[in-house]
Amino acid sequence: MRGVWGVWDRGAAGGLRGGAMGAYGFAAQLAIGEVWEERLDRFFTERFAVDVRRVGMEEQRRGIDRVFVGMETGEVYTVEYKADDKAGKTGNAFIETVSVDVTGKPGWAAASQADVLVYLVTEPETIYWIPMRRVRASLARWRRLYREVAAQNEGYKTLGLLAPLAELERIAVKVW
């Protein structure tokens, strides 16, 4: 992944604040997610020589939010974005294991087909660049070590492991 940290680097970008409380409604979460996606798009395009491309519904169903193409190298990465507005306060990342409990739909940690997870802790703003294969390789260990919790949504729950941010830092290629 040399291109990501070598010729793409251009300098730093600013930050945003935001978040939600209570049960998670789909429309509200979508709107909040879009704000953070725009923030991450700006971060990567301002800092690196990369073309950040939005994807269609087919890619999104596969857990891919963006395609990054190195403008000088041609390197291509499929990327899943996650924003967490609680991790900065709790010190734990929410690693989704079950997306929808009533159907048993697997969470992004196991199901995403992206090459890279970009995990954004919103406050204090911290961005982790993690190869998704490292997330999947860590899941069994994390299941033994950390508790699984439920996040209430409208009509279903999402389950996830509360993994310390130090675990993300341990498997990340880069942290900003």
* pLDDT for 60 beyond 50: yes
Give this prediction's pTM.
0.83
What is the spatial distance between Cα 129 and Cα 165, in angstroms, rounded to a whole number? 13
Using the predicted structure, report yes or no on whether residue 14 has a pLDDT greater than 70: no
Q: Output the pLDDT for position 27.
A: 62
pLDDT of residue 24: 54
Strand order in the sheet with 66-70: 50-54, 66-70, 76-84, 116-122, 125-131, 174-175
How high is the mean pLDDT of the chain? 87
Task: Compute the chain's Rg from CA coordinates.
Answer: 16
Contacts of 57 (CB under 8 A, 6+ apart): none
Per-residue pLDDT reduced to its tens digit, 64-91: 999 999 999 999 999 999 999 999 999 9
> Is 124 exposed, middle or buried, given 0-12, 13-18 or 19+ CB atoms closer than 10 A?
exposed
C-alpha–C-alpha distance, residues 164 and 142, integer Å: 10
**pLDDT (0 to 100) of residue 28:** 59
State the Cα–Cα distance between residues 52 and 42, nearest whole angstrom: 9
Is the CB of residue 163 less than 8 Å from the CB of residue 95?
yes
